[in-house]
Chain A
Amino acid sequence: MADKISLGYTHLSGCTGCTVALADNYAGLLTLLDKYVDLKYMPTLADARHVQKVDVSFVEGSVCINDKLAVEELKETREKSTIVVALGGCACYGNITRFSRGGQQNQPGHEAFLPIGDLIKVDVYIPGCAPTPQMIRNVAVMAYLLLKGTKEQKDLATAFLKPLMTMAQGCEACSCDIMTTVINQGLCMGCGTCAASCPVNAITMEYGKPQLERDLCIKCGACVAQCPRSWFSFDVVENYEAINEAIMAALQ
């Protein structure tokens, strides 16, 4: 189909959990590939593995600056893609790879890992470890509407994606962000969303406020991104019903 968007998937220092999350859309993934997305390259799910010119590329994993090949692939991805999406905590913020000091088999010299935004410009962030199938799906549908939709659909997609474009600014991607950007700013109202979002249960609610177990935190960035008081767009969220319906209809 001519008006599909082309998609690439660059796999750097990530555990393949993001790939699995993408695949966990099951039938939804097949519909996406059928109707909207032409998957040009991807190490696990496509025949072609090398970076090509595409509309949108997903990057899984942080980038190891001791690995020349990884750095080159990342730069090539940037040069050849209109939109680069940092997929998952590692690509967005470094996540668990932030704790690496090298010395591991079979590449003991690979010790320094950076979020991809430290080397290239990133357009959209999808935090979380692993990111969720539904979030990947929603971003994929919105990216399609942004590039191929009507004026109205483009406006919706822009409004939807906007908060995901600025996510990494001023953010350490750890439980501390909940303290510094929400509680210290007098914005927390005790909903408990941050605690529900954490994949490692580093957050519990004590007297209605998050209690952070910093040593457990893997720096995935999900808690602060999911918190309704980190960012909230009335324009988008007030239309939740119509947007959810549109996404579900697109995947029928």
Chain B
Amino acid sequence: MGAELGKYKSVVSARSTDKELLKYAQDGGIVSQLFAFALDEGIIDGAIVAASKEFAAKNPSKVIIDSTNFDMIEPWRPIPAIVSTKAELLAAAGTKYNICPNVALLKEATRSFGLDKIGIVGTPCQMQAVRKAQLYPIGMRDVGASIALAVGIFCMENFPYQGILQLVEDHAAMKLESVKKMEIGKGKFWVYGKRGQVVQLPLKATHKYEQPGCHVCLDYVSNLGDISTGSVGSPDGWSTVFVRSKIGDSVWAKAMAAGVFETQPMEKVKPGLELVSKLANEKITKNRATLEARKTFGVGKALRNPYI
């Protein structure tokens, strides 16, 4: 196990000790619990998360959306929002398997939303965007130093909204508004209905709906988050947590001291870090091959490589 997991100070299997929070969370409730704790402690004064239309309707001042289109926003279309209470965090908990441009709110968070200490959750590519914005703040005036806690989630791929629509309504034959939870795990795409029905699709069926930009992505476990987390590697209901930066280390230590998480050593849990490593390597190898193929895509003509 090496570079594919990024730099980290420690890794554990963990879950929130808050039973109520776990009801809303996707996995071990790491993201929502970290932000709830950081809000309580004044480490952040708001967090950028992926909320929904219902949330936006109730909290119009926490989102930026064009109200003329509001009625056309479909179920399961994520809307970036800035939340500042536990109830709001819970309303936005859980994974939405389609694109939520959280970084779009990063500058405005420090402007009309008035945050000095921003929390942000995002996919590995969004963590890359955040760090590039800190080092090269070309269009991000007075933003970099305000980022107080960046929590990265693991990510194999994402889907455009219409991809999820296709998978759920066509392949799984369920209405999106009747879906309670979606999950990718154990080699399947799972759709859980509000009335208890469960449909599983083979991952093979999902590939053609993946976002093309994901096929050049070289990060599986959010190497650039302060803390990064995902389900892979840990038992059901638990999460694998990498503590990466000095900020991450300090927040994690405080959260542990406050007892908001219970943990198990990574070496003790099944399937363990080997699986995280294996999937990370698979993703990186596959996408490196895509980048290679882009070099000779045409006849003597290449597609652009973003990495320099």
**Contact assessment for B306 and A232 in the assembled complex, using a CB-CB cutoff below 8 Å:** yes
| Chain A residues with CB under 8 A of B108 | 196
**Contact assessment for B216 and A187 in the assembled complex, using a CB-CB cutoff below 8 Å:** yes
**Contact assessment for B139 and A191 in the assembled complex, using a CB-CB cutoff below 8 Å:** no
**Contact assessment for B161 and A207 in the assembled complex, using a CB-CB cutoff below 8 Å:** yes
**Contact assessment for A190 and B132 in the assembled complex, using a CB-CB cutoff below 8 Å:** no
Partner of B101, one of A127, A164, A181, A190: A190
**Contact assessment for A207 and B139 in the assembled complex, using a CB-CB cutoff below 8 Å:** no
**Contact assessment for A190 and B136 in the assembled complex, using a CB-CB cutoff below 8 Å:** no
Contacts of B123-147 to chain A: CB distance below 8 A: 123, 125-126, 128-129, 131-142, 144-145
Contacts of A1-41 to chain B: CB distance below 8 A: 21
Contacts of A49-77 to chain B: CB distance below 8 A: none
| Chain B residues with CB under 8 A of A230 | 306
A186-B212, A226-B132 known; A192 vs B101 contact (CB < 8 Å) = yes
Chain B nearest Cβ from A217, distance in angstroms: 13
Chain B nearest Cβ from A162, distance in angstroms: 7
Any chain A CB within 8 A of the CB of B32?
no
Any chain B CB within 8 A of the CB of A115?
no
A-B contact count (CB 8 A): 173
| Chain B residues with CB under 8 A of A222 | 138-139
| Chain B residues with CB under 8 A of A192 | 80, 101-106, 129
Any chain B CB within 8 A of the CB of A244?
yes
| Chain B residues with CB under 8 A of A117 | none
**Contact assessment for A127 and B104 in the assembled complex, using a CB-CB cutoff below 8 Å:** no
- Map CB proximity to B onto A157-198 as digits: 1 under 8 Å, 0 otherwise: 000101110000000000000000110011111111101111
**Contact assessment for B103 and A196 in the assembled complex, using a CB-CB cutoff below 8 Å:** yes
- Map CB proximity to A onto B60-96 as digits: 1 under 8 Å, 0 otherwise: 0000001000000000010010000000000000000
Any chain A CB within 8 A of the CB of B230?
no
Cα separation A75 to B193 with both chains bound (whole Å): 69
Any chain A CB within 8 A of the CB of B217?
yes
Stretch at the interface among A94-102, A105-113, A133-141, A147-155: A133-141
- Map CB proximity to B onto A205-216 as digits: 1 under 8 Å, 0 otherwise: 101110000000
**Contact assessment for B139 and A244 in the assembled complex, using a CB-CB cutoff below 8 Å:** no
A196-B108, A244-B134 known; A226 vs B304 contact (CB < 8 Å) = no
| Chain B residues with CB under 8 A of A208 | 98-101, 160-161, 211
A139's nearest neighbour on chain B, judged by CB, is B136
Cα separation A91 to B80 with both chains bound (whole Å): 34
Any chain A CB within 8 A of the CB of B180?
no
Chain A nearest Cβ from B303, distance in angstroms: 6
**Contact assessment for A193 and B213 in the assembled complex, using a CB-CB cutoff below 8 Å:** no
Contacts of B247-302 to chain A: CB distance below 8 A: none
| Chain A residues with CB under 8 A of B218 | 234
B141's nearest neighbour on chain A, judged by CB, is A132
| Chain A residues with CB under 8 A of B102 | 191-192
| Chain A residues with CB under 8 A of B304 | 181, 185, 187
| Chain B residues with CB under 8 A of A187 | 213, 216, 304, 306
- Map CB proximity to A onto B219-251 as digits: 1 under 8 Å, 0 otherwise: 000011000000000000000000001100000
Partner of B133, one of A127, A131, A226, A241: A226
Partner of B103, one of A191, A231, A240, A243: A191
**Contact assessment for A228 and B129 in the assembled complex, using a CB-CB cutoff below 8 Å:** yes
**Contact assessment for B98 and A238 in the assembled complex, using a CB-CB cutoff below 8 Å:** no
Partner of A234, one of B77, B126, B307: B307
**Contact assessment for A193 and B133 in the assembled complex, using a CB-CB cutoff below 8 Å:** yes
Cα separation A236 to B134 with both chains bound (whole Å): 12
**Contact assessment for B138 and A189 in the assembled complex, using a CB-CB cutoff below 8 Å:** no
**Contact assessment for A132 and B103 in the assembled complex, using a CB-CB cutoff below 8 Å:** no
Partner of B136, one of A135, A185, A191, A205: A135
Cα separation A192 to B308 with both chains bound (whole Å): 21
Any chain A CB within 8 A of the CB of B162?
yes
Any chain B CB within 8 A of the CB of A84?
no
25 CB contacts below 8 A, A to B, read A21-B141, A134-B140, A134-B144, A135-B137, A189-B99, A189-B217, A192-B80, A192-B102, A193-B106, A193-B129, A196-B104, A197-B138, A207-B162, A208-B99, A209-B99, A228-B129, A228-B132, A229-B125, A229-B213, A229-B306, A232-B306, A233-B308, A237-B224, A238-B223, A238-B224
Instruction: Give the 5 A-B CB pairs with smallest separation, nearest first.
Output: A197-B139, A192-B101, A208-B99, A192-B104, A222-B139
Q: Which residues does B use to contact A, with CB under 8 Å? A: 7, 66, 77, 80, 98-108, 122-123, 125-126, 128-129, 131-142, 144-145, 158, 160-162, 211-218, 223-224, 245-246, 303-304, 306-308
